[in-house]
A and B are shown apart, each in its own frame.
Chain A
Amino acid sequence: MSVLSMIYWTAAIILLLLMFMLMYPALSQDISVFESILNNFPLELRQALGLTTLNLSQILGYYGFVFIYVLLIGSIYAIKSAMAVLSEEPRSKTADFLLAKPVSRTTVVTAKVLSVLTQLAVQNIIFIGVSYIIMLVYGRGQFNVATLVLVNFSLIQVQLFFFAVGIFIAAVMKKIKTVLPIALGVVFAFYIIQMINQSINDPKLAYITPFAYFDVGKIIQNESYDMIFLGINFSIIAILTALTYLLYQRKDMPSI
């Protein structure tokens, strides 16, 4: 079941990428005209519109634009599977079965966590491979492979953030009846913060949302990650995962 859902979500991400990429040849004509006009305007103005960093007439710039939606879907998948796997017992009333086995709760959490991580890893490997092929077809070699790899690797890092948030929510909440509404709410909230951060360019907002930690436009521009944000992301993941282990140890499990 969870393998199937992994395949569906991966397919969805790839279809999305393909759909937007199919539009690229037609779009790139219009965009280059638009960009030449835009470049005549002052920098502050372009900043306010969030258009400084993404160069849409370059295939990689356009890829970066599409990649934001890839991140959105990938994040929903990550938080959903993380939350589902750890909240499964109270939901399907199998806690007394699983937790009575002679393994510690730490082992249980580790096994659950690893199963989700494996799925995320497989999904990323498939996505990175396919996106490279798609870019080869549409980019005609006019892009920097190292930057593409860098952009693609931000997917797993954002996913890990939401994965950590997911297991944490599952550990805190007594019983999650339906996973998806919470998953959608959390991811959309962070996504909207990022969209607003982009349009009003408030540096404080950027610290709240992982979508800003890996701002695709900046990654393409600098050809590297922002080390501070990388550190913040890593710390949040580590803290939330540690808290999850602690909380799950002492969690009261309803078995009926």
Chain B
Amino acid sequence: MIFLIYMGMLKYTGFAGAGESVTDLFDQIPAGVKSILGIGELDVTTIAGYYAVFYLYFMLLAGAHAIMLGAIIISKEERDKTGDFLFSRPVSRSRIITSKLIAALLNIIVFNLTTLFASLVFINIYHKGPAITDIIIQLMVSLFILQLIFMVVGTGIASVTKNIKRATSISAGILLTTFLISAAIDLYDKIAFLKFITPFQYFPAGETITTGGYSPSYLIISFLLIITFVIITYRFTEKRDIYI
């Protein structure tokens, strides 16, 4: 996890170093080309637009972190063979799950805030001009929703699968599949109807920056997804056979 955050930092320095020259280059692009490239609605010459390009990779890393965290935190007891210790305590299983979910939630909040502060600091160092704090915060909120979705998908999968070793594999599979579908949608807009399958497409950075808000239908979908997977997590872990 620290490694992931560290990589986030590294990315920024790379981005920051070359930021200026790239901004100059982007200035020369005629508007027509930009729209063909799919960055039309994004003004890459502004720091916000440029930041949005990197936002895709934050989503990938944050999603990977969240879904792995979710899958592991639930299956941990069986993996470490501490199930008999933990589950024989005089607390109900739902309480255990609640504390686990809160712990995971704190983790992703820390991850999110670290990304937020790193972004703000680096942008302030390298960007001279009007602050874009509100846009960054808005993007981080949508990143947080993405993290939440992937986290509860992870916990859901871990509570449904019988074999705990499968939980992380399936989670990784889901993450990669949704990421690839998202890449395919970016490439070929005729399959845009697939957008609702992949959380990577719920709150595209370009849209968030230009419209300054979130699409309500995707907010509802995210909300429903999160609720569904939380319910799945509770229901299936409650009745789960814990192998020791």
A residues with CB within 8 A of B: 5, 12, 16, 19-20, 23, 26-27, 34, 37-38, 41-42, 44-45, 48-49, 69, 72-73, 76, 177-181, 184-186, 188-189, 192-193, 195-196, 199-202, 205
Q: Could you write out 28 A-B pairs with CB less than 8 Å apart? A: A16-B180, A23-B184, A23-B187, A37-B33, A41-B33, A42-B28, A44-B25, A45-B29, A48-B22, A48-B25, A48-B26, A69-B180, A69-B183, A72-B176, A76-B172, A177-B79, A179-B168, A181-B64, A184-B68, A185-B7, A185-B64, A186-B3, A189-B4, A189-B7, A192-B61, A196-B11, A199-B22, A200-B15
Size bin of chain B's contact surface: 35 or more
B53-A199 in contact (CB<8A): yes
A178-B79 in contact (CB<8A): yes
Cα distance, A190 to B230, chains bound together (Å): 33
Cα distance, A124 to B118, chains bound together (Å): 40
Produce 1/0 per residue, B167-193, CB < 8 A to A. 011011101100010011001101100
Cα distance, A45 to B22, chains bound together (Å): 9
A180 touches which of B80, B169, B180 (Cβ 8 Å): B169
Cα distance, A193 to B13, chains bound together (Å): 11
A192-B169 in contact (CB<8A): no
B28-A200 in contact (CB<8A): no
Q: Does B37 touch A at the CB level, under 8 Å? A: yes
Cα distance, A37 to B37, chains bound together (Å): 11
Lowest 3 A-B CB distances belong to which pairs?
Answer: A200-B18, A181-B68, A180-B168
Q: Does B57 touch A at the CB level, under 8 Å? A: yes
Q: Does B17 touch A at the CB level, under 8 Å? A: yes
Known: A192-B60, A196-B15. 12 other contacts (CB 8 A): A12-B176, A34-B36, A49-B37, A76-B172, A177-B80, A180-B172, A181-B64, A181-B72, A185-B3, A185-B4, A185-B61, A192-B57
Among A26, A73, A180, A202, find the residue whose CB has the most chain B CB atoms closer than 10 A. A180
CB distance from B42 to the nearest CB of A (A): 13
Cα distance, A193 to B28, chains bound together (Å): 25
Q: Does B14 touch A at the CB level, under 8 Å? A: yes
A195-B79 in contact (CB<8A): no
User: Given A37-B32, A69-B183: A178 and B57 within 8 A (CB)?
Assistant: no
B residues with CB within 8 A of A: 3-4, 7, 10-11, 14-15, 17-18, 22, 25-26, 28-30, 32-33, 36-37, 53-54, 57, 60-61, 64-65, 68, 72, 79-80, 168-169, 171-173, 175-176, 180, 183-184, 187-188, 190-191
A188-B25 in contact (CB<8A): no
B188-A27 in contact (CB<8A): yes
Q: Which residues of A contact B53 (CB under 8 A)?
A: 199
CB distance from B9 to the nearest CB of A (A): 11
Cα distance, A202 to B20, chains bound together (Å): 13
Cα distance, A41 to B28, chains bound together (Å): 10
A188-B64 in contact (CB<8A): yes
Cα distance, A205 to B11, chains bound together (Å): 11
A45 touches which of B28, B32, B65 (Cβ 8 Å): B28
CB distance from A241 to the nearest CB of B (A): 22
Cα distance, A198 to B25, chains bound together (Å): 14
A178-B190 in contact (CB<8A): no
Q: Which residues of A contact B80 (CB under 8 A)?
A: 177
CB distance from A84 to the nearest CB of B (A): 10
CB distance from A135 to the nearest CB of B (A): 19
CB distance from A43 to the nearest CB of B (A): 11
Q: Which residues of A contact B64 (CB under 8 A)?
A: 181, 184-185, 188
Cα distance, A201 to B57, chains bound together (Å): 17
Cα distance, A177 to B75, chains bound together (Å): 12
A20 touches which of B3, B10, B30, B184 (Cβ 8 Å): B184
Among B10, B14, B26, B184, find the residue whose CB has the most chain A CB atoms closer than 10 A. B14
Q: Which residues of A contact B65 (CB under 8 A)?
A: 181, 185
Cα distance, A42 to B25, chains bound together (Å): 10
Cα distance, A178 to B180, chains bound together (Å): 24
Q: Which residues of A contact B54 (CB under 8 A)?
A: 196
A196-B168 in contact (CB<8A): no
Q: Which residues of A contact B25 (CB under 8 A)?
A: 44-45, 48
B168-A178 in contact (CB<8A): yes
CB distance from B24 to the nearest CB of A (A): 9
B22-A200 in contact (CB<8A): yes
Cα distance, A249 to B64, chains bound together (Å): 33
